Structure 1
Amino acid sequence: MEEREFHSKVYWLTFIFSILVIWVHSGNAELFLGPGAGDGWVGRAERLLGSGLGQFAVPGFFAVSAYLFYRGFSMKDLERKWKSRIRSVLLPYALWNGLYYAGYVAATRLPAAAAVVGKPPVPLNWEECFRAVFFYAYNPVFWYLFQLILLTALAPVLYFTLKNVWTGAAAAGLLAVFLGFNKNFPVLNGDALFYYGFGAFAALHGRKWVEGRLSPARGAVWAVVLAAAFGGIYLMGRIGGLLYGSALALIFFRLTGVCAFVLAVRLLHLPAAAEFMKNNFFLYAMHFAWVRLINKSAALLLPPVPWSALGAFVLMPFVLVVLCTIFARLGRRFCPGIYGFLSGGR
């Protein structure tokens, strides 16, 4: 696979994951239809798309981020990679968290906005500011970036563990056993480490599988393998199964789903990624507040009927992509420095 095609496929993949993340946070049945509506057919339909397909998005982000970090990696690249991630991850993380905090501080003190936000006045002090900026207190979707920062900091440990196939496989096995007993680490999420480690291992040892030529016949074989994996994980996760009651069932299921998305993007003859697909970080960072604002505003303006809720839910990613594209173009044109920080230099 040529370098240009590879990066185009990555943009496609992360764009799809971004759309799914928006649907995860766009559930609105009870907002439009009242308490208990989440158990009705609208709520079930939204969960099928949001919680069903959407559950593969963040594991996919972890795997793709790790693959890009460790693709062609050696220890001499560590300083350069860390410096790059400070600009592309750490600084935007702090800046967006600060903006969300400032937004909530302002909105909860303005009567008209407070009615939409639905929160009491947010404390304005240094302690709360620290909690917001460093621990994403008012930007819950950035738990992903918090975990990604921790995993990036662990690069030397992960590289020396995973650069050898056997030590990498042994570490994966030990982590699987640890997670299989529903254990976790104090700050680092074990499932995030598993997804990220999978992507890193693939970059270090499986580039020919990920980026090599994939014929339709070989793609069909991999599709059958993944379908069998889905079936096996489902059976093992049922009552009486080997993975019943274990977090591993869900982790393996989601990881298999990520592989299925990668396979689909590889097999499909997709056009080169459009420019609006390259704003995925900015889209991820801005979407949460806008989803809440649009859903709450739509619930006030539209009739409280099922099709209003479902229509707002289905259209939400497309509305957000349009808004993101407009903001990105305006940012690049009128305040490129600020936009550069907000987008992580992307």
Structure 2
Amino acid sequence: MLPLPAKPTAASPAQLNNFLSQKLRFWSLVAMVLLVYVHAYNLHPRYLAAWTLVDEPLAADTWLQYFLANGLLRFRIPILFAISGYLFAHYEARAPHKARVKQRLRTLLVPYVLWSTFGLGLTWGLEQYPATRQLVLGAALSPFGPQNPLVSQYSPGELLVRWLLLPVPFQLWFLRSLLVYNLAYPWLRKAVERAPRVYFSIAGLLWLADVGLPPLFEGTGLVFFALGVWLRRRELDVLTPPRWFRAGPLAVGWLLLLTGKTWLAFHPEQPSFLLMLVLHKAAEALGVVVMWFGADALVRVAMRQPWFVWLTSFSFMIYGVHVPLVNYATEAALRYWHGQQLLVYLLLPLGVVALAVVLGTALRRVVPGVYALLTGGRGV
């Protein structure tokens, strides 16, 4: 099911258009798989932001990896925020807001804490042996910089910050932000209903400028979670493409934007920070439109396959398992297959996804209670 909202009850599918329900499940799984590919990026520097440049020579393999990880696949987080906002508004009548917030503590906060604990424990364990300690150092996931790279050397205060605010599984920021938006839902709903132009103008500028105040909010969530709320509250059709939508020209425009940004990332002279940011945000928004309205045929084909429908139950397991595992595994793989960066990038995420599905299947069968805690009740 969806990686973020709690698993719907038996009555839920009847409340959503059948194809919309299928579409939401499809994108929940696909977005998680694509997330693994973004986090499996293995060029230098490893940290990806809108303006990230590449320190390695331009070649077909390095170009393709950057084009995918910091370009084509970046639409997925906005889509997930919009889905989450739409569903939270859709099920508003089920219970008072306070009761829904209590439920979200179970479905968002509990998995957040558990997966953060797992990431800390895995990292600490790897640091105890010289060979695997090098994997931790190579992954460079510490938010405290190269001068303080090891979990086993953190002070109590740093350990607490790492556990609750800056988890080793850094993808958990999404759960943290979503919980904040769920808490603030009554105010967000009023803002988008009473003054949508003002709200989206301000939130849009924060998103465009890539401004946020973690752990309180991020610009992406402020725009797209609220967009999902607004679409549902206005009861607008989210399945029929608008009249102006033309899949072919928009897809070409999207790819051209991404090609330009990728070329700039390898440019010998420092490109404009603002230009990189604008290209990234424009491509991100265009990608959401192109993929949401332009991939319906793929959704229909995939959701007719029993194996694919079965896999959608493990979206959250893929989300929880993949970091920091994919980062440490990447360091190990590149040691043995030095010079095979593209091959490692293309194949390793598939192995991580398969491991998450196998682990999820075993946990759900053997200890369903533990599985339910780890996933917030999703896919049970």
Higher mean alpha-carbon deviation, 112-121 vs 94-103, is at 112-121
Q: What is the RMSD computed on CA atoms of the aligned residues? A: 3.4
User: Secondary structure in 2 aligned to 1:333?
Assistant: helix
Compared CA separation, residues 317 and 203, structure 1 to 2 (3 A) = farther
Compared CA separation, residues 88 and 72, structure 1 to 2 (3 A) = closer
State the distance in 1 between where 2:191 and 2:93 align. Answer: 13
State the distance in 1 between where 2:91 and 2:282 align. Answer: 26
Instruction: Find the counterpart in structure 1 of residue 247 from structure 2.
Output: 223
Instruction: Find the counterpart in structure 2 of residue 148 from structure 1.
Output: 178
Cα deviation for residue 72 of structure 1 reads 4.7
Q: What are the equivalent positions in structure 2 for 1:143-222 lying under 5 Å apart? A: 143-164=173-194, 167-177=195-205, 184-185=212-213, 187-208=216-237, 210-211=238-239, 221-222=245-246
Structure 2 residue runs without a partner (length 5+): 1-13, 46-53, 138-148, 265-273
Compared CA separation, residues 333 and 38, structure 1 to 2 (3 A) = farther
State the distance in 1 between where 2:256 and 2:350 align. Answer: 35
Instruction: Find the counterpart in structure 2 of residue 254 from structure 1.
Output: 284
State the distance in 1 between where 2:101 and 2:25 align. Answer: 22
Q: Tell me how many residue pairs correspond in the alignment.
A: 327
Residue 98 of structure 1 contacts residue 129 of structure 1 at CA under 8 Å; is this kept in 2?
no
Amino acid at match of 2:75: F
User: Secondary structure in 1 aligned to 2:328?
Assistant: helix
Higher mean alpha-carbon deviation, 80-89 vs 276-285, is at 80-89
Superposition misfits of 4+ residues, deviation over 6 angstroms: 231-234
Residue 98 of structure 1 contacts residue 132 of structure 1 at CA under 8 Å; is this kept in 2?
no
Picking from 318, 326, 334, the partner of 1:283 is 318
Matched, 1:16 2:30: yes
Instruction: Find the counterpart in structure 2 of residue 110 from structure 1.
Output: 129
Compared CA separation, residues 124 and 313, structure 1 to 2 (3 A) = same
Compared CA separation, residues 301 and 175, structure 1 to 2 (3 A) = closer
Instruction: Find the counterpart in structure 1 of residue 349 from structure 2.
Output: 317
Compared CA separation, residues 140 and 10, structure 1 to 2 (3 A) = same
Matched, 1:339 2:376: no
Higher mean alpha-carbon deviation, 97-106 vs 222-231, is at 222-231
Compared CA separation, residues 189 and 220, structure 1 to 2 (3 A) = closer
User: Secondary structure in 2 aligned to 1:270?
Assistant: helix
User: Secondary structure in 1 aligned to 2:377?
Assistant: coil
State the distance in 1 between where 2:170 and 2:206 align. Answer: 26
**1:106-157 per-position Cα deviation (integer Å, ceiling 9, x unaligned):** 2212223212222545335542332122102422222222222221211111
Structure 1 residue runs without a partner (length 5+): 239-243
**1:237-276 per-position Cα deviation (integer Å, ceiling 9, x unaligned):** 99xxxxx659666445322311222113434432424211
State the distance in 1 between where 2:235 and 2:190 align. Answer: 17
Compared CA separation, residues 319 and 149, structure 1 to 2 (3 A) = same
Instruction: Find the counterpart in structure 1 of residue 10 from structure 2.
Output: none
Residue 22 of structure 1 contacts residue 317 of structure 1 at CA under 8 Å; is this kept in 2?
yes
Instruction: Find the counterpart in structure 2 of residue 241 from structure 1.
Output: none
Matched, 1:27 2:38: no
Between the aligned residues of both structures, percent identity stands at: 19
User: Secondary structure in 1 aligned to 2:376?
Assistant: coil
State the distance in 2 between where 1:20 and 1:150 align. Answer: 25
Residue 12 of structure 1 contacts residue 265 of structure 1 at CA under 8 Å; is this kept in 2?
no
User: Secondary structure in 1 aligned to 2:128?
Assistant: coil
Instruction: Find the counterpart in structure 1 of residue 49 from structure 2.
Output: none
Compared CA separation, residues 231 and 322, structure 1 to 2 (3 A) = closer
Picking from 283, 302, 309, the partner of 1:274 is 309
State the distance in 2 between where 1:50 and 1:110 align. Answer: 31
Q: What are the equivalent positions in structure 2 for 1:33-44 lying under 5 Å apart? A: 36-37=55-56, 39-44=58-63
Amino acid at match of 2:124: V
Picking from 70, 73, 77, the partner of 1:54 is 73
Matched, 1:66 2:101: no
Residue 29 of structure 2 contacts residue 311 of structure 2 at CA under 8 Å; is this kept in 1?
no
Cα deviation for residue 42 of structure 1 reads 2.1
Which one has a larger percent helix, Structure 1 or Structure 2? 1
Residue 181 of structure 1 contacts residue 246 of structure 1 at CA under 8 Å; is this kept in 2?
no
Residue 89 of structure 2 contacts residue 232 of structure 2 at CA under 8 Å; is this kept in 1?
yes
State the distance in 1 between where 2:344 and 2:103 align. Answer: 38
Residue 67 of structure 1 contacts residue 200 of structure 1 at CA under 8 Å; is this kept in 2?
yes
**1:57-80 per-position Cα deviation (integer Å, ceiling 9, x unaligned):** 212221111111112535954234
Compared CA separation, residues 193 and 314, structure 1 to 2 (3 A) = same
Residue 95 of structure 1 contacts residue 133 of structure 1 at CA under 8 Å; is this kept in 2?
no
Residue 322 of structure 2 contacts residue 353 of structure 2 at CA under 8 Å; is this kept in 1?
no
State the distance in 1 between where 2:290 and 2:284 align. Answer: 10
TM-score normalized by the length of structure 1: 0.81
User: Secondary structure in 1 aligned to 2:346?
Assistant: helix
State the distance in 2 between where 1:103 and 1:116 align. Answer: 12
